[in-house]
């Protein structure tokens, strides 16, 4: 039961953060960053299984590997951008978080252009 | 690269370490300010923040490398 571990971990971290809240807000932010990263590192083994499954599926379906790596890149960008923006919001700088989200959206759009071109070309072939 | 033991367990000791450093820094800060040595208090403050920041930066580096290896970037 990993979820019990994670919930217990998050509660302990929450109590520690509540001790620091109001006395030293900067240290509370550091602790919340560390907690987020540790929980993510704990979940990496699970995500890796899912990603390997998706790769197997793609090799069986003969999908071009470039598209799959593009999708993985988009996933990584989305995860990192949302992580950073939430930490910025926690630290009270919502504007900075909004800018990070904006940059993430632009980068994802840039990565999605080759896929969009491939879709358009296949439509043109059909017509 | 990541160590295997890091992934298997939730590492609560790091959080406690950060919290301990923070509490000690707060106490030293209070004592120094009460005894009228405000300039030493500022230096202690800075040292504590640097120690905590070093731990957190190591963790952030680990996060970036793990994301990079996971998504094969």
Q: Are residues A44 and A71 in the same domain?
A: no
Does the pLDDT at position B2 exceed 80?
no
Q: Are residues A71 and A112 in the same domain?
A: yes
Domain boundary among A47, A63, A79: A63
Q: What is the ipTM of this complex?
A: 0.79
Chain B residue with Cα closest to A6: B10
Query: How far is C-alpha A101 from the geometric centre of its chain's CA atoms?
Result: 11
* The model's pTM: 0.81
Are A24 and B52 a contacting pair at CB < 8 A?
A: no
A4-45 pLDDT, tens digit per residue, is 989 999 999 999 999 988 888 888 999 999 999 999 888 888
Q: Are residues A54 and A12 in the same domain?
A: yes
Name the residue range of residue A119's domain. 64-127
Chain B residue with Cα closest to A33: B56
Q: Are residues A38 and A94 in the same domain?
A: no
Q: Which residues of B touch A29 (CB under 8 A)?
A: none
Q: Are residues A74 and A45 in the same domain?
A: no
Are A34 and B12 a contacting pair at CB < 8 A?
A: no
Task: Look over chain B and give the mean of its residue pLDDT values, rounded to a whole number.
Answer: 84
Residue B9 pLDDT: 66
Grouping H, G, I as helix, E, B as strand and the rest as coil, residue A93 is coil
Chain B residue with Cα closest to A72: B71
Are B59 and A33 a contacting pair at CB < 8 A?
A: yes
Q: Are residues A72 and A59 in the same domain?
A: no
Q: Are residues A78 and A123 in the same domain?
A: yes
Are B56 and A48 a contacting pair at CB < 8 A?
A: no
Contact B9, A5 (CB under 8 A): no
Are B59 and A39 a contacting pair at CB < 8 A?
A: no
Q: Are residues A58 and A20 in the same domain?
A: yes
Q: Which residues of A touch B14 (CB under 8 A)?
A: 34, 38
Reported for A78-85, long-range contacts at CB under 8 A and 24+ positions apart, including other chains, are: A78/A104, A78/A108, A79/B67, A80/A104, A80/B67, A81/A105, A83/A36, A83/A40
The answer, for A43 touching chain B at a CB cutoff of 8 Å, is no
Does the pLDDT at position B8 exceed 80?
no
Are A41 and B7 a contacting pair at CB < 8 A?
A: yes
Domain boundary among A63, A98, A117: A63
Does the pLDDT at position B48 exceed 50?
yes
A83-96 pLDDT, tens digit per residue, is 999 999 988 899 99
The answer, for A40 touching chain B at a CB cutoff of 8 Å, is yes
Q: Are residues A68 and A119 in the same domain?
A: yes
Q: Are residues A125 and A92 in the same domain?
A: yes
Give chain A's domain count: 2
Domain boundary among A22, A41, A63: A63
Q: Are residues A90 and A49 in the same domain?
A: no
The residue whose two tokens read 């017509």 is A127
Q: Which two tokens stand for residue B65?
A: 């490398």
């Amino acid at each position: 039961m990993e979820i019990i571990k994670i919930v217990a971990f998050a509660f302990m971290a929450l109590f520690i953060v509540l001790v620091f809240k109001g006395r030293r807000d900067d240290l509370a932010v550091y602790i919340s960053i560390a907690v987020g990263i540790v929980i993510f590192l704990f979940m990496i083994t699970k995500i890796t299984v899912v990603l390997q499954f998706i790769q197997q599926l793609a090799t069986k379906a003969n999908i071009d590997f470039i598209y799959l790596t593009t999708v993985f890149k988009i996933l990584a960008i989305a995860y990192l951008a949302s992580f950073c923006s939430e930490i910025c919001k926690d630290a009270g700088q919502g504007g900075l978080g909004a800018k990070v989200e904006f940059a993430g959206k632009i980068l994802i759009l840039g990565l999605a252009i080759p896929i969009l071109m491939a879709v358009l070309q296949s439509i043109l072939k059909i017509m | 690269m990541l160590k295997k033991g890091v992934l298997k367990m939730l590492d609560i000791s790091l959080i406690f370490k950060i919290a301990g450093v923070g509490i000690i820094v707060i106490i030293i800060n209070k004592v120094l300010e009460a005894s009228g040595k405000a300039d030493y208090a500022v230096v202690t403050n800075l040292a504590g923040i640097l120690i905590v920041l070093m731990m957190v930066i190591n963790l952030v580096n680990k996060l970036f490398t793990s994301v990079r290896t996971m998504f094969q970037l």
